[in-house]
Chain A
Amino acid sequence: MEYAIVVGVEFVYAIATLALISLGLAIVFGMMRIINLAHGEFMVMGSYAATVAVHHGVNVWISILIVPPIVVGLIGMVVERLLVRHLYGRMVETMLATWGLSLFVVGLLTTVFGDTTEGVPTPLRGIAVGAYQVSGYSLFVIGLTVVTMLGMYALLRSTRFGLLARGTMQNADMAAALGTDTSKVYAVTFTLGAALAGFAGGVLAPVSGVFPSIGGSYIGRAFITVIGGGAAPLFGTASASTLFGIINQIATFASNPVYGEVALLLAAIVLIRAMPQGITGRFFRGRL
């Protein structure tokens, strides 16, 4: 029984991290049909923002929860202005440009911080479950992911911005004809996606090491989740990360984390063959 709880937490934690790292990417993709290849680097910048803040004596909770989304959100705003805005409607060019940005940021981070691993101390202790121990921080990440998803749902569902964003997502031309400033909606959406990426980077900074090229180990999973999920950002992320999180954990238990990732990829490729529009192209149509 206790072992079952520990394993259960592991599974839910895998699903939660998958959802957390994919959410920013999924929102930008769902709203703007853009895949931001610099998503991983946005996360790394979030991790570095948290690390720098902690090293300057800022409270650790503020450093990992408040600082990264603000810093990376601002960076995302600038990137949207200088880069993404000029390429709207040209998805492939947008991907290439964000890829260029991703290389640029990795190089810049390596120049500034060096190719060394930094870290943030884990602010929570383990919790004993009978003879076993569950990481308190894992439980915290799970709770935080649920809160974030619900928050995004509320934001898109019941605020004025959410209404305009959903309208723009369904039919940008019609929304513009009705007086919505769609380029402003896109700008806010991209900033929001960047802030969520930074948030994920900050939250995961204590559990993963922080070094310039770690983005590469996040983005593979995030891409798979977003493509598997399809166009609806919240339902897609939730359903795809549940499915892929379970597959990943089973394969990881059976062998090792690397084969877990391979299993994830194979599952995603088969899924895409069966449902080219992702899970939300077949189920939950028209949801968020």
Chain B
Amino acid sequence: MNLGLACIGVIGVALLVALPATLDLYELLQITLYAILGILALSLAFIWGYGGILCFGHSAFFGLGAYAYAVAVINLGESTLPLLIAIALPAALAAGLGYFMFYARISDVYVGVITLTVALILYNCINSTAGPEYHIGEALLGGFNGIPNIPSLNIPFRPDAQLEPEAMFVLSMGLLLLTYFGLTALLATRFGRVLVAIRENEQRVEFLGYDARLHKLVAFAIGGGLAGLAGCLFAAWGNYVSPTAFSVVQSAQIIIWLMVGGAGTLIGPVIGCFAISWLTLKIGTQQFVNANVVLGAILLVFVLLVPKGIVPLLSERLGSWLLSHRRLTQLPRNAATQESKA
């Protein structure tokens, strides 16, 4: 596992350094977007795959982060504080929602439906804010037209020093790596272990004296904040945000990344995110097939046929293949205990 982590770190840093020099601007912008969406994928991978919180409306936090950044940066003219607001506001929404959901001890199905409904209604809300009477400070919300001309991120406290695309790429990719290793480290702490234990058996963990509700609430808030960060970067990347950031299709996409890559891992959802984002980009360039048809079909196929996702499937195959070799050569006793466990 540590070998795998080291590999990911080396590859990540290599990409971080090499890509700006080798790619042209358009490709670099695309890769930047993938890195931003990768952070979004990680935020859900953490709360869904490790916390066992089935958030069906994750786009609520993503969209809220994007809109919070847009509104704040237009009003303040400087991006340091807006970036923090874009993380804090979704985290607060997640914490508030988490309080009502986890302290009522509602079932997974209810959590899924309530989060999805929150995203749906936020979408309807923002969608209907067209017209000059809907504004927050100087920022017009713009309804279904969205907010254009959002200022890019700048170097902290220097509003005139806006980040160039290369710098934005380095920032996004760096934050993606930071999120990945940060979450890996968090999962290795006592908090992370308790969280995974809650996913496995909430009642047993509570009998051992841990407060499952509080752990889930904190995890949910962290996930919401990270999704908000991704939303903020997304708005700053495209200088534009529209209500589709809140849409059900956006929520579904994040879950599809998880289902394709494998929800019980951190690297799987990122890979799934890159693959699906690339695919939807390709679908967008042609007229024959509607993107929703493909996304729906992918979700159906994976739920029915590959419920674990690709990465766990591959690592399992690889693992058992390695084990079978070891059994033949060196470790008959260990292999036997492995077998009896399985």
Q: Does A110 contact B (CB under 8 A)?
A: yes
Cα–Cα distance between A92 and B56 once the two chains are bound (Å): 10
Q: Does A125 contact B (CB under 8 A)?
A: no
Contact A104 B293, CB 8 Å, known A93-B307, A262-B125: yes
Give residues of chain B (114-167) contacting chain A, Cβ–Cβ below 8 Å. Answer: 114, 116-118, 120-121, 123-125, 128
Beta-carbon contact of A104 and B296 below 8 Å: yes
Beta-carbon contact of B296 and A100 below 8 Å: yes
Give residues of chain A (32-58) contacting chain B, Cβ–Cβ below 8 Å. Answer: 33, 35, 37
Beta-carbon contact of A103 and B296 below 8 Å: yes
Beta-carbon contact of B303 and A107 below 8 Å: no
B116 CB to closest chain A CB, in angstroms? Answer: 7
Give residues of chain B (248-267) contacting chain A, Cβ–Cβ below 8 Å. Answer: 248-249, 252, 255, 259
Beta-carbon contact of B121 and A105 below 8 Å: no
Q: Does B211 contact A (CB under 8 A)?
A: no
Give residues of chain B (97-119) contacting chain A, Cβ–Cβ below 8 Å. Answer: 97, 100-101, 103-106, 108-110, 112-114, 116-118
Q: Does A174 contact B (CB under 8 A)?
A: no
Beta-carbon contact of A224 and B117 below 8 Å: yes
- Of the listed residues B105, B108, B120, B294, the one surrounded by the most CB atoms of chain A closer than 10 A to its CB is B120
- Please name all residues of chain A whose beta carbon is closer than 8 Å to the beta carbon of B123 when the two chains form the complex: 216
B200 CB to closest chain A CB, in angstroms? Answer: 15
Q: Does B300 contact A (CB under 8 A)?
A: yes
Beta-carbon contact of A276 and B252 below 8 Å: no
- Of the listed residues B121, B123, B291, the one surrounded by the most CB atoms of chain A closer than 10 A to its CB is B121
Beta-carbon contact of A273 and B100 below 8 Å: yes
Beta-carbon contact of B292 and A92 below 8 Å: no
1/0 per residue A99-111: CB within 8 Å of B? 1111111111011
Q: Does A141 contact B (CB under 8 A)?
A: no
- Please name all residues of chain B whose beta carbon is closer than 8 Å to the beta carbon of A273 when the two chains form the complex: 100, 103-104
B295 CB to closest chain A CB, in angstroms? Answer: 5
Segment with Cβ contacts to B, from A65-73, A159-167, A202-210, A264-272: A264-272
Give residues of chain A (78-97) contacting chain B, Cβ–Cβ below 8 Å. Answer: 83, 86-87, 91-93, 95-97
Q: Does B290 contact A (CB under 8 A)?
A: yes
- Of the listed residues A35, A107, A111, A259, the one surrounded by the most CB atoms of chain B closer than 10 A to its CB is A107
Beta-carbon contact of A223 and B296 below 8 Å: no
Give residues of chain A (250-288) contacting chain B, Cβ–Cβ below 8 Å. Answer: 256, 258-259, 261-262, 264-265, 268-270, 272-274, 276
Beta-carbon contact of A219 and B300 below 8 Å: no
| Of A35, A97, A105, A216, the contact of B120 (CB 8 Å cutoff) | A216
Cα–Cα distance between A101 and B123 once the two chains are bound (Å): 21
- Please name all residues of chain A whose beta carbon is closer than 8 Å to the beta carbon of B291 when the two chains form the complex: 107
Q: Does A8 contact B (CB under 8 A)?
A: no
Cα–Cα distance between A258 and B106 once the two chains are bound (Å): 27
A192 CB to closest chain B CB, in angstroms? Answer: 20
- Please name all residues of chain A whose beta carbon is closer than 8 Å to the beta carbon of B125 when the two chains form the complex: 258-259, 261-262
1/0 per residue A112-133: CB within 8 Å of B? 0000000000000000000000
Cα–Cα distance between A97 and B298 once the two chains are bound (Å): 10
Cα–Cα distance between A252 and B20 once the two chains are bound (Å): 52
Task: Return the chain A residue nearest B298 by Cβ.
Answer: A100
1/0 per residue B294-318: CB within 8 Å of A? 1111111001100100000000000
- Please name all residues of chain B whose beta carbon is closer than 8 Å to the beta carbon of A268 when the two chains form the complex: 114, 117
Beta-carbon contact of B121 and A220 below 8 Å: yes
Q: Does B273 contact A (CB under 8 A)?
A: no
Cα–Cα distance between A92 and B115 once the two chains are bound (Å): 14
- Please name all residues of chain B whose beta carbon is closer than 8 Å to the beta carbon of A258 when the two chains form the complex: 124-125, 128
- Please name all residues of chain A whose beta carbon is closer than 8 Å to the beta carbon of B100 when the two chains form the complex: 269-270, 272-273
30 contacts between A and B (CB under 8 A): A86-B304, A92-B112, A95-B109, A96-B303, A97-B303, A100-B295, A100-B296, A100-B298, A100-B299, A101-B300, A102-B296, A103-B293, A103-B295, A106-B292, A108-B293, A219-B120, A220-B124, A223-B113, A256-B128, A258-B125, A258-B128, A261-B124, A262-B121, A264-B121, A265-B117, A265-B121, A269-B97, A272-B100, A272-B106, A276-B106
Task: List 8 tightest A-B contacts by C-beta distance, closest first.
Answer: A104-B296, A107-B292, A100-B299, A103-B296, A107-B293, A107-B290, A100-B300, A220-B120
A residues apposed to B, CB below 8 Å:
33, 35, 37, 83, 86-87, 91-93, 95-97, 99-108, 110-111, 216-217, 219-220, 223-224, 226-227, 256, 258-259, 261-262, 264-265, 268-270, 272-274, 276
Q: Please name 7 further chain A to chain B contacts, defined as beta carbons within 8 Å, in addition to the given A100-B295, A104-B297, A227-B110, sorted by A numbering.
A: A99-B56, A102-B296, A223-B117, A261-B124, A265-B121, A272-B106, A276-B104
